[in-house]
Amino acid sequence: MTREEFHSVVQANQAMVFSLAYHLLHDRAAAEELAQDVFLSLYRSLDRIASQEHAVFWLRKVTMQRAIDESRRRKRRPVVALEEVPEPGMRMPPEDALLGDLLRRLVQSLPEAPRAVMVLRYQEELEPSEIAQVLGMPLGTVKSHLQRSLALLRGKLERKGVTEPRR
C-alpha cells in the first residue's frame, strides 16, 4: 500500500476505528489515543498491507485486540469518574430502555470477548464469519457469544422490568 492510499484509508476508516475503541473502552480520550496508536501502527506496517480491503480488515482486528487489552488493564486498575457514579435510587425511564443508557451499560457489563462480538455484529454489522476472522476465534465461538449475550441481555432487561414490544 502506498502513502497516498494510506491517507484515503485513514479518512475512510477513522470513525470506525474510534467507534470500536470507544464502545469497548467507554472513554473518549482513551479511544482517541488508541485510534492514533492503531493508525501509527498501520503506517509502520504499510509494506505488509496488500490492499485497502486488507487495511480495513487489519484496522478492525488490531483495534479490537488493543481495545480488549486496554480494557483488561483498566480492570486491574479501575478508575471511576465522579460524574459516572449513579445517584442513589435513580431509575431509568422504561420508554428509553432499549435505545438508551441502560442497554449500553448492559452491553458494557459483558466480558471483553462477548462485548467485542456484540459491537462488531450490531454496530459494525459484520456477519459472524467476518467477526471470527477479525477476532481470530472459531465461528462457533462467535455464534455462541452472540446467543449467550443476547439471552443474558434479555434476562437482565426483564429483571429491570423492560419487555420486548409485541409484534
Domain boundaries, the chain: 1-82, 89-167
Identify whether the C-beta of residue 85 lies closer than 8 Å to the C-beta of residue 78.
no
Residue with cell 451499560: 105
CA dist 14 → 7, 9, 75, 92, 94 (Å): 10, 8, 26, 33, 34
Q: What angle do CA 38, 123, 65 make, to 5 degrees?
A: 30
Per-residue burial over 105-114, b = 16 or more CB atoms within 10 Å of its CB, e = otherwise? ebbeebebbb
C-alpha cell at 93: 425511564
Reported as a single tens digit per residue, the pLDDT across 10-33 is: 999 999 999 999 999 989 999 999
What's the confidence (pLDDT) of residue 99? 46
On the question of a common fold for 1-82 and 89-167, the answer reads no
Distance from C-alpha of 9 to C-alpha of 80, rounded to nearest angstrom: 34
Q: What predicted TM-score, i.e. pTM, was given to this entire model?
A: 0.62
What's the confidence (pLDDT) of residue 98? 44
Backbone phi, then psi, for 57, in 5-degree steps? -60, -45
Spell out, as residue ranges, where the chain has pLDDT lower than 70: 77-100, 163-167
What's the confidence (pLDDT) of residue 164? 62
What's the confidence (pLDDT) of residue 44? 94
Per-residue burial over 63-79, b = 16 or more CB atoms within 10 Å of its CB, e = otherwise? bbebbbebbeeeeeeee
CATH of 1-82, one of 1.10.1740, 3.40.50, 3.30.70, 3.30.450: 1.10.1740
CATH architecture of residue range(s) 89-167 = Orthogonal Bundle (1.10)
